[in-house]
Homo-oligomer: A and B are copies of this chain.
Amino acid sequence: MGRTRWLNAEEKRAWNAFIGTYELLNRRLDQQLKQDSGISHLQYVILARLSAAPDHELRMTELACAVSNSKSGLTYQIGQLERAGLVRRRACESDPRAVYAVLTDEGMALLEQAAPGHVALVRELLIDVLTPDQLTALADGLGEVNRRMLTDRDPGCSD
């Protein structure tokens, strides 16, 4: 292994922007969602994934992968969402080890109530700030980065 290829100015700029933007953005989205709908950003993402799945349900592990969360972390969050009546658990008939998380009608209703404000903020802070070219570059570039990390080694749901 040769000497380290340090990041040049352009690369550093991209890297810092990437890290910083996510942290700030996530914080804002979290605050807005908590204030408006009483759920965290992570919980919103979980509900959204479920709403997009066939029959509004997904196995715990699939869901953990889909939201890039650890298994135990998901167990905790589904517990919270279940207590709030937004999700329920369902045993799988074919494999007794498996558990489905199912979006309830209340969960769907909350999601529909929360979505407009959430999307508006995502637009305001990120999407509408980018030029169409930048948007495409971001989707293509980070899409590829994502794909490689998922293929690469572990399945994203680390634990």
A contact set with B: CB distance below 8 Å: 4-7, 10-11, 13-15, 17-25, 27-28, 31, 45, 67-69, 115-116, 119-120, 122-123, 125-127, 129-131, 133-146, 148-150, 156, 158
Q: Write the nearest CB–CB distance from A133 to chain B, whole angstroms.
A: 6
Given contacts A13-B139, A27-B68, contact A127 B7 (CB under 8 A): yes
A13: which B residues are within 8 A, CB to CB? 139, 143
Q: State how many copies of this chain the complex holds.
A: 2
Bound together, the chains give a CA A48 to CA B149 distance in angstroms of: 25
Report yes or no: A145 in contact with B120, Cβ–Cβ below 8 A: no
| Chain B residue contacts of A139, Cβ below 8 A | 10, 13-14, 17
Specify which of B69, B120, B137 is in contact with A134 (CB 8 Å cutoff): B137
